[in-house]
Chain A
Amino acid sequence: MTARSDVPSSASTAAHAPSGAAGVAALVCRLLLGGLFVVSGLAKLTDPQLFAHAIKAFKILPDHLIVLSTFAVPWTELVIALFLILGWWTRAAGWLALLVLAAFTVGIASVLARGIHAECACFGAIKLLCTGPMGVCHLVRNAILMALAVCVGRMGGGSFGLDCCCRRD
């Protein structure tokens, strides 16, 4: 009996999934990014009023989109986190994390360019690395997280994710 040509063999899956030190690095990257997105999503959902005001401070979206974003952003973060931690659809979750982070970064840069003083509710009331109003620190932090997301998007879930077990991605 021969294997179907559209189902990857164990050898080809192993070739795509990082193993050894690279597999451990992929695991660390996705768990770190997934953990941060869990914290970020839960913190925002715990305090939707505060996050809504934070989005309002960007002065980019109309009110009805602010209300939708208040809940859609943290839920998207939690979905990303779940898939990253499980290592399932890891590349897709990594690239979506990059898109979300890029959107935040553009928003923060826009606020800075317009000289608006606003607090960052990026992690709800938790101040991760950066304190005070939105500034260059927040841009640098996001750049680091975006680099992490690129790593996850390129490496995938590694040897320890469901992607590897399911022979997908």
Chain B
Amino acid sequence: MKPQGTLVRVLALAGIGIVAGAVHSAFVPVTLRLSENGTDAPTPLGPDDHAAPRPGPAPDAPRPSDGTISPSSRSGSPFITSAQAKELIDAGETLIDARTIEQYREGHIDGAFHLSSADFSGGRTPELLRFFAKDQPLVIYCDGADCDASENLAIFLKQSGYRDLRVVKEGFPGLVALGLPVAKGDPS
């Protein structure tokens, strides 16, 4: 077989894979970004969306007890600052560390649960979610501005029915800088 013939075959095989993938992608949606109003976004956010997160609902706002979500939290941005996150944490809201388990062991915000996108692999529902109500605020953090793990986890949680998700854009470094206590060890 001449090298040119092999090259043509390589291109043919790659073409088959790419065409099959393109057709498949037209039928199965994947979500890459959370939109500013907290719903799954079919189109990506612009750079400004990350640079200037809008304030979410007031941290001391009463949580609806009838299972519905408040208009403010429904329309609020899922992206919050470290200061807003600290207020929510101080108010006793649930904190989730979306980083790798190794990073969690090395140090996490005291009281944070560990959950990552990988826990949803194969369509599984993580055991931990049994303890969270669908309408309770979940504050999620990862490494900071360059990290997507918290947003990715929020997408999975959104698809699992969780409605009040807050992603801390400054992540773990931002929360540590505000003086929140750090703990080490495995998830309890």
Contacts and interface: CB of A to CB of B under 8 A. Distances in A.
Q: Do A and B bind each other?
A: yes
Contacts of A116: 146-147
Interface of A: 45-50, 52-53, 56-57, 59, 63, 66-80, 83, 89, 91-93, 95-96, 99, 116-119, 124-125, 132-133, 168-169
A59 B44 CA distance: 14
Interface in B27-62: 28, 30-33, 43-44
Given A71-B28, A116-B146, A80 B13 contact: yes
B30 A47 contact: no
A134 B74 CA distance: 36
A45 B24 CA distance: 10
B44 A63 contact: yes
A164 B21 CA distance: 30
18 contacts: A45-B24, A49-B159, A50-B118, A66-B32, A68-B22, A69-B21, A72-B18, A75-B20, A75-B24, A76-B16, A78-B17, A79-B17, A92-B9, A95-B6, A124-B121, A125-B118, A125-B121, A132-B102
A76 B102 contact: no
B25 A56 contact: no
B100 interface: yes
Contacts of B44: 63
B82 interface: no
B10 interface: yes
Contacts of A92: 6, 9-10, 12-13
Counting contact residues on chain B (CB < 8 A from A), the size range is 35 or more
Contacts of A77: 17
Given A79-B17, A96-B10, A71 B25 contact: yes
A117 B6 contact: no
Contact of B30 (A46, A67, A83): A67
A44 B173 CA distance: 32
Contact of A125 (B12, B122, B156): B122
A73 B21 contact: yes
A117 B146 CA distance: 9
Contacts of B116: 119
A59 B32 CA distance: 12
Top 7 nearest A-B pairs by Cβ distance? A76-B17, A72-B21, A125-B121, A92-B9, A71-B21, A75-B20, A53-B152
B132 interface: no
Given A56-B32, A79-B17, A133-B100, A70 B120 contact: no
Contacts of B121: 47, 50, 124-125
A30 to B, nearest CB: 14
